[in-house]
Amino acid sequence: MDKPITKRIASVLIGIAYTTFGILMITNPATTLKALSLIAGIIILITGFAYLFLNKENSDKQDSTMRMIEAILLMLLGLMFLFGNHLNNMLLLSYLLLFWIIIDSMLQLNFSLHREKSPYRTINIVIDLIIVASSIYVLFNPLLAEMTLVIFVGFTFIGTGATKVIKEM
């Protein structure tokens, strides 16, 4: 059964909004970095408070102490993202994203090397090597690291918006 027309229109409008936000992110990187810093700060601060106040039910003293320390560190990190230099904050997030990409690609490369030989195996190996090499290159260029984060988030929004619109056509 087809969806009602109002739901389809709403989905297309949401897709257009996502695509527009993605384009705005890519065309205004400084504003995007500031917004991402504020959003990350709010989320991390709320997570820290949640760890602090949801910690009451645990009876293990050592685990409780570790959760308390983690909550305090998260709250400090959240405050740093809210009130600190947004460019430095995003540089930190960019590097964390790059390290994650490098580790993930190396794990995928290891997996591909242990698979049986096939054309897909070779393609996977080449792609993973390119990702690792380009990520290592970006690690040594801080401006490129921040731009990579902005472009990654922008294209994610554009892709999400496009798929929402296409799905309803």
Q: So where are the chain's domains?
A: 5-168
Over residues 153-160, the mean pLDDT reads: 82
Q: How far is CA 43 from CA 6, 29, 31, 112, 158, in A?
A: 32, 21, 18, 36, 23
Identify the pLDDT of residue 2: 64
- Kindly report the backbone phi and psi dihedral angles of residue 140, in degrees, each rounded to the nearest multiple of 5, phi listed first: -95, 10
Q: Residue 1: is its pLDDT beyond 60?
A: no
Q: Which segment of 3-7, 13-17, 157-161 scores lowest on mean pLDDT?
A: 3-7
Three-point CA angle 69, 48, 104, nearest 5°: 90
Over residues 118-127, the mean pLDDT reads: 83
CA dist 83 and 90 (Å) reads 13
Which H/E stretch holds residue 55? none
pTM above 0.85, yes or no: no
Which residue, 53, 55, 73, is CA-closest to 64?
A: 55
Q: How far is CA 87 from CA 43, 78, 83, in A?
A: 18, 15, 12
